[in-house]
Structures are given as structure tokens and as C-alpha cells.
Amino acid sequence: MVKELLKFTYEQKKTNLNLAYSLETVQDNRELYAAWAKDYENDFASALDYVLPNRVAQIFLDMGGTGPVLDVGAGTGLAGQALAKLGVHPIDAIDLSDAMLDVASKKKIYRNLFTSDITQPIATKNHSYQGVISSGTFTHGHVGPNAIDNLLSVARGGAYFAISINKNHWFEKGFVKKFKALKDVIENLLLHDVEIYGENSKGEHCNDLGIVATFRKV
């Protein structure tokens, strides 16, 4: 089903946001983003005026965040690119999709790139990140709150986190409960309401909102 929809969508040059929100399995995600990678920034990011990566990067900088940073669900590197422009480095990228990371690698902003499912324990070459960011990964059809444990495991004590979560996903998938359960391992939790898309966005999702959760690992 996913492959059939992808064939139609890409031949017709249509945005796949609804399909992305409806994904149910890791394999569905791999198939979608393998097909979408080459055109992702034009078909989605530019077409919908996707401003969330810039918002997350700026919030991370404003909270005092520094490198080395792990960009979680890095995709084609939009959030990493925003961080690099703000002078934050070094940055590593992790994503489920080899194809998306291949596009990201061409931006020459990442020190290392890792293919991994963050719902499972993360094995990277560096387990002492001073910062962790994520833009657009904790959303419908993607990743739920339990993956935050795996992100904490690769960060050093005192590390800065800025993680975006689709606002509807926040309430539907148990993020409130999860962050309450983390009260002994994180501190300074703040929730920032942000727009996911800019003023030039059109369509049914143009007014979608996100929450950027910022905190530090104890």
C-alpha cells in the first residue's frame, strides 16, 4: 500500500505529509523516506514553508546549548544546517533512512552520520554529547515518548536538549506522563509553543503547531 501511494504521489509531484502522518511501521518509514529523500526539500520543506528546524535550532542556542550535538531524525539536514549557521558545532546526525542521510551528507555540516532506529538502544561512536536536538521526528506516524530514554543514554550529564513534538501528538501519545516520569533524570523542563510552518504555507496543515521541550540531563 505504501509503495502504491508513493508511486502515485511522486509521479504527480504531490506533498506526502498525510502519508507520513499515517505511517505505522519502521519499514513503512524506510520506504517513504527512501522514495522522498531526493525531492523532500522541494516537495515538502519549501512547498510548505517548513520553519520548524530553524525554530528548534534557535531555541537550542538561546538555552545555552553547545556542541557536540546529536541531531536526531536529521533527515536531509535542515536542523543541522540551521545549527551550523548559528555557529554550533560539531554536529552528528542520526536517522532511520540511509537515503535521507545521503542527502544530508552533501551539506558537509556533519562530523558523523549514523543510520539507526531511535526506538531501540542507540549505538554511536560517541556517547558523550553535550547537546541533543530533534525537529519533526516526534510526530504522527513516527516516534513516541519512550524513545527519549535512548536519547538520554547518549548524552553526558548536563547536556542540553531541544526536542520538537507535534502538539496533537504530545497530548495523544503520553508525553505528559513520560516527562513526569523523567523528573529525577532531567531538570529545567520548559515547553515552547512554536509554529511548524511559516506564513507562506498553504493547505490543511498550515496552522499545525508544535511544542519544543527543552531540558537538561541531570
pLDDT score recorded for residue 201: 80
d(CA 55, CA 59): 6
**Under a CB-based contact definition with an 8 Å cutoff, are residues 143 and 208 in contact?**
no
- 2-34: per-residue pLDDT in tens? 444 444 343 333 445 555 555 556 666 666 666
Q: Are 145 and 173 in contact (CB under 8 A)?
A: yes
pLDDT values of the chain reduced to their tens digit, one per residue, 218 residues: 444 444 434 333 344 555 555 555 666 666 666 666 677 677 666 778 899 999 999 999 999 999 999 999 999 999 999 999 999 999 999 999 999 999 999 999 999 999 999 999 998 766 789 999 999 899 755 688 999 999 999 999 999 999 999 998 898 889 999 999 999 999 999 999 999 999 888 777 788 999 999 999 99
Beta carbons of 3 and 31 less than 8 angstroms apart: yes
Instruction: CATH 3.40.50.150 in the chain: give the residue spans.
Output: 52-217
Q: What predicted TM-score, i.e. pTM, was given to this entire model?
A: 0.85
pLDDT in tens, 72-86: 999 999 999 999 999
Count CB-CB contacts under 10 A for residue 112. Answer: 14
Question: CATH homologous superfamily for 52-217?
Answer: Vaccinia Virus protein VP39 (3.40.50.150)
Task: Work out whether strand 91-95 and strand 112-115 pair parallel, antiparallel, or are unpaired.
Answer: parallel
